[in-house]
Structure 1
């Protein structure tokens, strides 16, 4: 038996470890998560998702659509803190070049139990104004 290590230096997210109970991924900057380019939110309907910022900067944008209209918010992540995205919350990670995060989630989380919400122009602009 030996200690293993896992890494990922590519663009976007890659699952680097999975044991049947949880998955760990590394999420790096990609243009689709840039403040000027993002245009969608996602939600996982059955599982929470955790993020830890290790380098760069990230703003977690989110929307609560429980009352029939989207109410938007944003949280600027601090390095080394754990952020939980509860199941069912619309969200996205807005990053800058050089950003690296650790992602922890259930191994069953995927598009079969998740949804994508395409932001209308006005909604995207409203969220962009919340990002430092």
Structure 2
């Protein structure tokens, strides 16, 4: 038997590693990003940017270091920002970015439903970029490997 709650409210949860969209509606999407070994500072290989939309990140629990890079065609200087739980971080359209997360991290992502590989180029990181990311992560207390 379906209760009234089931008709009025959908409940979604994603607890596995990595990224998963959980709600798509009328042009927007909510996704969950959880810890994944690929997101450890020493394992990051590339940054991405979204050419047609901003992207919003909200830390629910754990720790997330948001990494951004200036530059247009390639990643330039890399910057790091520790996300604070409950605050809304809007990465503007065209900004190179990635993340590193603690094992207990959960990040909510809000983006356009048509955000995908076709409008979100990736830029491979140089060895210098990779070293800088590991340094920034250590400076912010991300020492887990």
Note the alpha carbon deviations across 1:57-79, whole angstroms, 9 max, x for none. Answer: 01101111149771211111001
> Quick one: which of 26, 31, 37 aligns to 1:20?
26
- Aligned counterpart, 2:48: 42
Tell me how far 1:128 sits from its aligned partner: 2.0
> Quick one: which of 90, 95, 110 aligns to 2:116?
110
Where is the strand percentage greater, Structure 1 or Structure 2?
A: 1
Question: Per the alignment, in what secondary structure is the counterpart of residue 6 of structure 1?
Answer: coil
> Structure 1: which 5+ residue stretches go unaligned?
none
Matches within 5 A, 1:49-60: 49-60=55-66
Superposition TM-score, scaled by structure 1 size:
0.94
Say how many residue pairs are matched: 132
Question: Per the alignment, in what secondary structure is the counterpart of residue 44 of structure 1?
Answer: coil
Alpha carbons of structure 1 residues 48 and 24: separation in structure 2 relative to 1, 3 Å: same
RMSD over equivalenced CA pairs, Å = 1.5
- Cα separation, 2, equivalents of 1:9 and 1:68: 33
Deviation >6 Å, runs of 4+: none
> Structure 2: which 5+ residue stretches go unaligned?
1-6, 141-145
Note the alpha carbon deviations across 1:75-112, whole angstroms, 9 max, x for none. Answer: 11001101011110000011111110100000010000
> Quick one: which of 102, 126, 134 aligns to 1:120?
126
- Aligned counterpart, 1:7: 13
